[in-house]
Structure 1
């Protein structure tokens, strides 16, 4: 059995080998998510990524290769490099006590459309309608409207990633995200797994994550490619 440290070096691969194995699609020893669920790919050998990308791009107009420090190779006649997101991985050290004053609701599939709409309002471009199937989602409602969420994305037998932390622009600066992250983190700990998260370097939210007890572990970069 692999260790947590080993899994976190390639979390997309680890997820697709274990908890999310049902979503896995493989081309040339490169692992991808079913593109209806998530458009992430993972690899250990960059010499395999060009052929794999050519096959996977047939199922999606764009996708990400996710890697700590390897640079993917692609066939530029079929796949175009769009941008690199300089990201980082954070892992919970010790959760800070947070006073939960809001009613936090575990969201079922009946809220999947509302989750999709809220994520696309705040962070358009990457979330898929079936991304909801990757893990639990928790939300806060105001006047019957879903205004803030925190979900779970990558996960293995050892870790679960907190993701899709978004709040409607009309409800920011009220501590909603803070309470949702803390609640989600506690739920992950109840499963005896390690809470992790990924974000881009320089994200103002990093300060909040650190206050909640998350610490940096490594770079984790997203290479975005589109179909030519």
Structure 2
């Protein structure tokens, strides 16, 4: 049995082995989400990645491999590196509660299109509409319009990742994201799991996460590839 620390070092891999096993597409030594759900993949041995990326490129035009410190090997006849996103992992050290003043709504399948539209407005490119199936989403409405959300993405028996933290550009600086993250954190703690999140290095939101009790723990890099 793997420890929590081992799982945190390769969160995509262990999410696909546990909670998200139904979304798994496996190659020799490399595991991916079904591309209708998410375009993340993971590995341990870089020598296995070239063939797996070639195979996955047949069903997805763009996709990520996620790694703490390993560099994937690719076959440039079929797959090209578009960019490397230098990211980091944060885990909850000690939750610092925050007063919730907004009406936070549990989002259901009927909200899937609204969630997709808001994420693509703010962070276009990679979120899949069926990514909604990876975990629970919460939102804040203003004048019957969804203006801010948080979601859950990778998860195992031990941790749940907070993701999809998005606020409409017309509704920023109102504290919606902080309230939603606090609410989602508490919901994860109710499940007796560890809340975690991933973000880009230098993200100005990092101090917000730290105010809620999250701490930086390790690098987590996102290698974005595209089919040639």
TM category (shorter chain) comes to: over 0.9
The runs of at least 4 aligned residues of structure 1 exceeding 4 Å deviation read: none
1:186 is matched with: 186
Quick check: 1:111 aligned with 2:111? yes
C-alpha deviation, 1:215, in angstroms: 0.2
CA offsets 1:80-135 (integer angstroms, 9 cap, x no match): 10000000000001111200000000100000000000000001111001100000
Distance 1:114 1:43 in 2: 33
1:29 aligns with 2:29: yes
- Distance in 2 between residues matched to 1:29 and 1:11, nearest whole Å: 15
Is it true that 1:74 corresponds to 2:74 in the alignment?
yes
Give, in whole Å, the separation in 2 of the partners of 1:219 and 1:200: 9
Aligned: 1:146 with 2:146: yes
1:157 aligned onto 2:166: no
Residue 125 of structure 1: aligned partner = 125
Alpha-carbon distance between aligned partners in 1 of 2:9 and 2:38, rounded to the nearest angstrom: 19
Residue by residue, what CA displacement relative to the aligned partner does 1:168-218 show, whole Å, maximum 9, x if unpaired?
000000000000000000000000000000000010000100011000110
After TM superposition, list the pairs within 5 Å mapping 1:35-46 onto structure 2.
35-46=35-46
The residue number in structure 2 matching 1:90 is: 90
Equivalents in 1 of 2:49, 2:29: separation in Å?
Answer: 9
In 1: Cα distance, 2:59 partner to 2:81 partner? 17
Q: How far apart, CA to CA, are the structure 2 residues paired with 1:4 and 1:127?
A: 27
Structure 2 unpaired stretches of 5+: none
Q: Which residue of 1 aligns with 2:11?
A: 11
Which secondary structure state, in structure 1, belongs to the residue aligned with residue 127 of structure 2?
A: coil
Residue correspondences, number = 228
| Partner Cα separation in structure 2 for residue 182 and residue 97 of structure 1 | 7
Distance 1:68 1:101 in 2: 37
Find the residue that maps to 2:154 and give its secondary structure: strand
User: How large is the RMSD of aligned CA atoms in angstroms?
Assistant: 0.4
Shift of 1:29: 1.6
Deviation at 1:221, TM superposition (A): 0.3
Q: 1:18 Cα shift? A: 0.1
Aligned to 2:225: 225
- Look up the SS of the partner of 1:157 in the other structure: coil
| Alignment TM-score, normalising by the size of structure 2 | 0.99
Q: Which runs of 5+ in 1 are unaligned?
A: none
**What is the DSSP-based 3-state SS (H/G/I as helix, E as strand, rest coil) of the residue aligned with 2:149?**
strand
- For residues 43-58 of structure 1, the aligned pairs below 5 Å read 43-58=43-58
Q: Distance in 1 between matches of 2:26 and 2:39?
A: 13
CA distance in 2, matches of 1:67, 1:126: 18
CA distance in 1, matches of 2:100, 2:75: 50
Secondary structure in structure 2 of the residue aligned to 1:166: strand
Provide the C-alpha distance between the structure 1 equivalents of 2:41 and 2:197, rounded to a whole number of angstroms: 17
